[in-house]
Chain A
Amino acid sequence: MSIWFEWIRMRSRLAEVQISLGRLAQAAKTVGRKMIFMEVCGTHTMSAFRSGLHSLLPSNVTLLSGPGCPVCVTAQGDIDLLIQLALRQDRPMTICTYGDMIRVPGRDGSLEKARSCGADIRVIYSALDAVRLAQRLPEREVVLAAVGFETTAPGTAAAISEAKRLGVKNFSALASHKRVLPAMMALLDAGEVRLDGFMCPGHVSAVMGWELYRPIVEKHGMPCVVAGFEEHCMAAALALLAEMVRDGRKELINAYPEVVAPQGNMRAQELMDEVFAVGDVRWRALGTIPGSGMIIRKEYADFDAAVRFSLGMPEDHEPAGCICGKVITGMATPHECKLFGTACTPINPIGPCMVSSEGTCQAWFKYHRVGVKRAGLEACTTRGIA
């Protein structure tokens, strides 16, 4: 029974992909010139590479990965602060982190290396796990490495407000949560990347609502489509984008209505507003973007690791030769980096884009070496972009 159900589901997904790719090809042919679309979500990056979507796109259509991988956009200074905290000798520290963060290199090593030197680093799946751990380990300071976009921020907010409600004194968060819209706007304002449309992230949209992207359409006249994560959703979104370019329409379309409402998840937004205020934060390689971050409010300062441990502003520096910043902003593809695949590999990552499984470099390294010609490797380079 369930095998048949799976089979039928697979066939209908496949049919949907084929129809969308057909529409995309037709629109691409009419448009004629190169079209460049950008997704800003690590899960889109992964899904596109895993399904081989790139190898099926028309030769004049390119899908770039923008600043959507939460690990990749975390400033190196924030990683350094975490490692500093993990290795503190004055009191017993436990750092809770999502799995991807553990191997991201800071200036002197990564959390993984700190762990091998005796630091207590735990991989968690939910921010609330960190609060529970703090309750179980009252003699230790438990710090949550809170990174990510509006998708993980409500979880951090819930953990902080839960810790306050329960009176957990040994829990805090080092928050470097980011807002996706200001980064998208900053990319367009800088004018360095020529784009034909955005594939907007389904998860962020589920929280923030699809009206979030209205300013992009209004200010920059850029077509936007909110897309789900399976390959048929992504193919459909690309077809919609290409058709808008063909018809000269500049609209915001929600192609993920089963999950995304116009105003999003109000409860999650209230929770975030309660704990976080909008502030300026630094992005890896993009520098400080005004209003692009979420800062823990003064009312919750007890749970702010930066306040609690009087952490200063760390220095930021990029590893020599690493062009992750350009990769994140779609201005370069990984193979243009001299380190890619030689000095920088998933086993020995130099830049964050190689560490995270959602990072463009790792996705390229893992999935993208077959069918590169059809994937339009030439089209992906900056020639048509910068």
Chain B
Amino acid sequence: MIRSAAMETGNRGEGKIVADHTQRIVLAHGGGGQLTDELIERRVLPRLGNNVLNELLDSAILRNIPACDLAMTIDGYVVQPWKFPGGDIGRLSVSGTVNDLAVSGAEPLGLALSFILAEGFAGKDLDEIVNSIAQTAAEAGVKIITGDTKVVGRGQADGIYIVTSGVGRVRRDAKVGPSRVKPGQKLIVNGAVGEHGLAVMLTREMPEVTSVLRTDAAPLNKLIAKVLDAVGTGVTFMRDPTRGGLAGLCSDLAKQSAQRVTLNEVAIPIRSESRHAAEMLGLDPLEIANEGKVVMAVEAEVADRVMEILRNDPLGVAASVIGEIGTEADGRCEILTEIGGRRVLQKPYGEQLPRIC
């Protein structure tokens, strides 16, 4: 809950109220006093308010949920810079958490947001981020039902961090998991990969370069719901290729399902701009994070139907069948290259290290 949780920062903000507290975040904004109230009432509630959040209780109460399985997830967002082509940390913090629920076959019931702000962060930047959260939540049709605000001293955090937790109702017709992945099933992705990570990295590492690349950050719950409405348990596995990219996802899938995953390089949608940018930064587009993509394993007989649904949605126009589950059952992921060669696809190390030349 925004008000009481903020009080946990105790006396950190005492005596620190400065003249420009309307323009910049000061420690007292996290102190649980009048300035905290002002921050919530002036900056947060007008944009994110709804019947649950407006009660400002210690916990959000979700009433009258019919008997069902619940899904819960949490994710921290620390992206630098907080604003990048096509989006910002606000858009990311909603779509990332909504997508984690959606790929588990759950419909989001509500999100909880925790802001960690550094002293001195500009109020207008916070407004922009909260607006972006509101807009993305509206796109996803999900409410922000509870939250928390903390302010830490200058230098203790880099601008703004957001932690978003989400709770969702698991659909009865959704049965997804690596154990349901079997030979003959097709792998589908809803569009071109690598754009989010590249857009952020270009902004960070090469600000002088202008590029058409934009983040793909978007909530996918409505798109996924359409697919599940149509084919239900025909979808056997879903995951969003965020950090680690497509390579990380597919090598994990192979390992966890103990099946052979074979990708067809020619079928993997990658914009030529992404290829060039990745080349310039010394990275592999398959290892780069996405924030508006889902990889689905589907039964072969429903693959065409799934493709049709995806391609008729703005978030899936570039959908493609990128591979299939082979019969070898050896837990490996391999890729058939453009020139007909074969190689193993492995999970990337972690930090993306640009090559030297």
Residues of B in contact with A, size category: 20 to 34
* In the complex, chain B residues 319-357 whose Cβ is within 8 Å of any chain A Cβ: 332, 334-344, 346, 349-350, 353-357
Q: Point out the residues of chain B lying under 8 angstroms from A369, CB to CB.
A: 332, 344
Whether A70 and B356, one on each chain, are in contact in the complex, defined by CB atoms closer than 8 angstroms, is yes
Which single member of B266, B334, B350, B356 contacts A98 (CB below 8 Å)?
B356
| Set of chain B residues within 8 Å of A56, measured between Cβ atoms | 339-341
A120-149 interface code vs B (CB 8 A; 1 in, 0 out): 000101000000000000000000000110
Asked if residues A370 and B332 are in contact (CB atoms below 8 Å), the reply is yes
A2 at the interface (CB under 8 A from B): yes
Q: Does A250 count as interface, using CB distance less than 8 angstroms?
A: no
Pick the interface stretch among A46-54, A159-167, A272-280, A330-338: A46-54
CB distance from B106 to the nearest CB of A (A): 33
The segment from A85-93, A99-107, A239-247 found at the interface with B is A99-107
Q: Is the beta-carbon distance between B343 and A50 smaller than 8 angstroms?
A: yes
Instruction: Return chain B residues, CB-CB under 8 Å to A347.
Output: 349-350
Whole-angstrom distance between the Cβ of A369 and the nearest chain B Cβ: 5
Cβ distance B223 to chain A, nearest Cβ, rounded Å: 22
Q: Give the docked Cα–Cα distance between A357 and B281 (Å).
A: 13
Whole-angstrom distance between the Cβ of B205 and the nearest chain A Cβ = 6
A55-B356 contact, Cβ under 8 Å, with A10-B266, A370-B332: no
Q: Is A169 an interface residue (CB 8 A)?
A: no
* Chain A residues in 8 Å Cβ range of B336: 52
Output the nearest chain A residue to B356 by Cβ-Cβ distance: A98
Q: How far is the CA of A99 from the CA of B244 in the complex (A)?
A: 18
CB contacts (< 8 Å) of B350 on chain A: these are 347
Cβ 8 A contact of A52, one of B281, B340, B349, B355: B340
Known contacts A52-B337, A53-B339, A347-B349: A367-B344 contact under CB 8 Å: yes
Which residue from B337, B353, B357 sits with its C-beta under 8 Å from A70?
B357
Chain B proximity of A354: nearest CB distance (Å):
11
From the candidates A42, A52, A54, A231, name the one contacting B356 in the complex (CB within 8 A): A42
- Judge whether A29 is part of the interface by a CB distance below 8 angstroms: no
Q: Which chain A residues border B340 with CB–CB below 8 Å?
A: 52, 56
Q: Write the nearest CB–CB distance from A112 to chain B, whole angstroms.
A: 8
Q: Say if the beta carbon of A17 comes within 8 Å of chain B.
A: yes
Give every chain B residue within 8 A of A46 (Cβ-Cβ). Answer: 355
Q: State the Cβ distance, B259 to closest chain A Cβ, in Å.
A: 15
Given contacts A2-B272, A6-B272, contact A52 B353 (CB under 8 A): no
Knowing A10-B338, A49-B343 are in contact, say whether A99-B355 is a contact too (CB < 8 A): yes
Could you tell me which residues of chain A, from 356 to 371, have a CB within 8 Å of some CB in chain B? Answer: 356-358, 365-371
Give me 18 A-to-B residue pairs in the complex whose CB atoms sit less than 8 angstroms apart, sorted by A's number: A13-B338, A17-B339, A50-B284, A50-B343, A52-B336, A52-B339, A98-B356, A100-B355, A101-B356, A103-B353, A125-B281, A203-B357, A347-B349, A356-B355, A356-B356, A357-B353, A365-B346, A371-B342
In the A-B complex, the 9 residue pairs with the smallest Cβ-Cβ separation, listed nearest first, are A52-B341, A99-B354, A99-B353, A367-B343, A52-B337, A98-B356, A371-B342, A55-B341, A370-B334
